[in-house]
């Protein structure tokens, strides 16, 4: 295994991490922005108001995107294990 293969594995790993985490992060950010705008317009400063909608949105996102996330992780893991099997 040379440095080009290791670099490719690292590059693909970082891309996979970004792809898998982006739906959850984007939904969390959008819900947080909507709740912040709502709090600013209504002058409600309850701390739990920011967390409860985010948690619900994150769980819904994980339910919707969970199978795709799992398939992506399985594909990358299979690819890396295949590379390990080729090492002599």
Residue 21 within a domain? yes
Q: Please write the tens of the pLDDT for every residue from 37-85.
A: 988 898 888 877 888 999 999 999 999 999 999 999 999 999 999 988 8
Instruction: Report the number of distinct structural domains present in the chain.
Output: 1
* CA pair distance 26, 37, nearest whole angstrom: 17
Residue 53 within a domain? yes
DSSP character at residue 47: T
Residue 8 within a domain? no
Residue 4 within a domain? no
pLDDT at 29: 95
pLDDT at 64: 96
Residue 68 within a domain? yes
41 alpha carbon, distance to own chain's centre? 30
Q: Is the pLDDT of residue 88 over 80?
A: no
Query: Which residue, among 26, 37, 23, has the nearest Cα to 68 in the 3D structure?
Result: 23
Domain that holds residue 32: 13-86
Q: What is the pTM of this model?
A: 0.79
């Amino acid at each position: 295994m040379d440095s080009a293969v290791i670099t490719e594995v690292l590059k693909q790993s970082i891309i996979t991490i970004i792809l898998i985490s982006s739906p959850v992060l984007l939904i969390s950010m959008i819900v947080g922005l909507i709740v912040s705008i709502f709090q600013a317009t209504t002058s409600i400063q309850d701390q739990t108001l920011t967390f409860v909608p985010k948690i619900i949105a994150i769980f819904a996102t994980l339910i919707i995107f969970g199978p795709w996330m799992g398939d992506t992780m399985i594909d990358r893991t299979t690819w890396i294990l295949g590379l390990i099997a080729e090492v002599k």
